[in-house]
Amino acid sequence: MDGINVCEDGEVLGVQSSSVERQQIDIGKRIFCNSAVNMKNIVAVGFDMDYTLAQYKPDTFESLAYDGTVEKLVTNLGYPKELLEWSFDWTYMVRGLVLDKKRGNILKMDRHKYVKVAYHGFRLISKNEKVATYGSTFTRDAFDGPDYAHIDTLFSLAEAYLFAQLVDFKDTSPGKISEAKDYSRIYSDVRSAVDMCHRDGTLKEMVAKDPKKYINEDNSIVPMLKMLKTSGRAVFIVTNSLWDYTNVVMNFVFGARTMDGSSSLSLDWLQHFDFVITGSAKPGFFHDENRANIFMVETDSGKLVNTDNGTPLAQVGGPALELPDQIPNKHCKVFQGGNVGHLHKLLNVGSSSQVLYVGDHIYGDILRSKKILGWRTMLIVPELEKEARILSSSWETRKKLQLLRIEREQIEDQTHHLKWSLDHGNLDGVEKEDTSSKLEILEVQGARVRAAHQESQRSYHQKFHPVWGQLMKTGYQNSRFAHQVERFACLYTSQVGNLGLYSPAKYYRPGEDFMAHESDVLTR
């Protein structure tokens, strides 16, 4: 986002106008760039629905998912009834964590896969125990194996919290959970219960009855989509949700907010899109070799119509096929299933790099679409709005931390030098006594500065989250989640509507990368 802005006719406006554009946009609403995206070359923009176009309220929606999962554990999987008295703290878990299913641990690690923060259930694991368990290279390299689960989507926060509760419960209440159920089996049961909730439709029925309770209102989405359409882009949705639920959610997102359970649904929202693909089964959808059939959806009835790569087929022995003109914008077509090959034919794009896809899930939306297809990608990170604002207001704190770290390193260097002189230097008695005295003073000073630095750093990270700290950092290193964002998201921002704050012809350029030696020299 630090790059030069470009006019519709391609003329350069200059660095100053780009700087002015940034200053006028709230820090929490800005779009940040990892890999260059020239919007003039983008001919189609696609969106996920859940947690992208539709932002769910964690205090209500995730609590609903949590309560449903607990109920399934008790009713279907034989867990004690006292679980029904448990409650969900939706503020506790964050994205980017890794569950060690075998040990019952929850981990936050840096981009090099070093574990920086670890809990067993809700018990903080000591530094020595953490190093003993996760200090070997072999263990670090295994974090992607079957014994680990990644919390990379907001949908997963409730199940991670429930897993931590069950780990504590198993440890503190022997016999309440069968001895045959180890931590891994407990996690599998939680996942099974989550799947049951989604399969029986309970969650979606509750959302459909009262969308306002579970979905945030966002008045920026319609203007953003109108801007994209007016600028000549094709606009589409690819979602794993089926048509009935998609229609309910999109009716709310696009303004039908007085709707109750008995209200009729409008199809007016379809005017903002060229294609809507429901039931896509991402991330499998992004594999062209995926042989899934694509069906057209009759939007009034929800019935599926056989197609040949998207073109409706007449039924054998039936009358000539005449689909009713049900959609206000008849150019919009709704489909279910299929794969990315079908979508490319519908969009008629010449190159995958001409497609920008916007989603919230690193693996389900972003990684496959960029790595396999070469699409341009934008990741939605709602947590970023708070984080960016805290960063923006913490300049003095960060400067203090920097000075404390420099002072700490200088004292450590002097201490090591004096110790070396004592151990290996050819010092006489007076020199040894003088060096020992200096060393003693330095060690006291070093302990004081080290404690002040550690406490300041701990206090700083707790501004972001009291347990897990800054989402994108672990200490001074980028977190595992930040590393994924950097690798797979060309652009990232807090809300999908932020795209409408920038010109549809903007050239997003990343900032300059720095090696360690460059950063050390240039930040003096």
Spell out the per-residue pLDDT of the chain, length 524, in tens: 333 333 333 333 333 334 445 558 999 999 999 999 999 999 999 999 999 999 999 899 999 999 999 999 999 999 999 999 999 999 999 999 999 999 999 999 999 999 999 999 999 999 999 999 998 766 666 788 889 999 988 989 999 999 999 999 999 999 899 989 999 999 999 999 999 988 888 888 899 899 999 999 999 999 999 999 999 999 999 999 999 999 999 999 998 554 444 446 889 999 999 999 999 998 888 887 777 889 999 988 888 888 776 666 656 655 554 544 443 344 578 999 998 889 988 888 877 889 999 999 887 777 767 777 788 999 999 999 999 999 999 989 999 999 999 999 999 999 999 999 888 877 888 888 898 999 999 999 999 999 999 999 999 999 999 999 999 999 889 999 999 999 989 999 999 999 999 999 999 999 888 888 887 776 65
d(CA 305, CA 329): 19
Residue 274 annotated among the catalytic residues of the structure: no
> What pLDDT is recorded for position 20?
45
The 3-state DSSP class for residue 336 equals strand
Residue 292 phi/psi, 5-degree rounding, is -60, 135
455 Cβ contact list (under 8 Å, min separation 6): none
d(CA 41, CA 49): 24
d(CA 50, CA 65): 14
Return the structure tokens found at 363: 């693996």
Q: At what angle do helices 183-199 and 157-172 cross, to 10 degrees?
A: 140
Task: Please indicate if the annotation marks 50 as binding a ligand.
Answer: yes
26, 48, 308, 513: which one is catalytic? 48
Phi-psi region of 449 (alpha: psi -120 to 50; beta: other; left: phi over 0): alpha
> What pLDDT is recorded for position 509?
95
Going by their DSSP bridges, the two strands 333-337 and 37-38 should be labelled as unpaired
> What pLDDT is recorded for position 198?
84
> What pLDDT is recorded for position 14?
31
Tokens 């199940």 sit at which residue? 159
Residue 60 phi/psi, 5-degree rounding, is -110, -50
Residue 52 phi/psi, 5-degree rounding, is -125, -80
| DSSP character string of 99-159 | EETTTTEEEEEBTT--EEEEEETTEEPPHHHHHHHH-SHHHHHTTTSTTEEEE-SGGGHHH
Residue 168 annotated among the catalytic residues of the structure: no
d(CA 127, CA 142): 20
Residue 355 phi/psi, 5-degree rounding, is -110, 130
> What pLDDT is recorded for position 359?
92
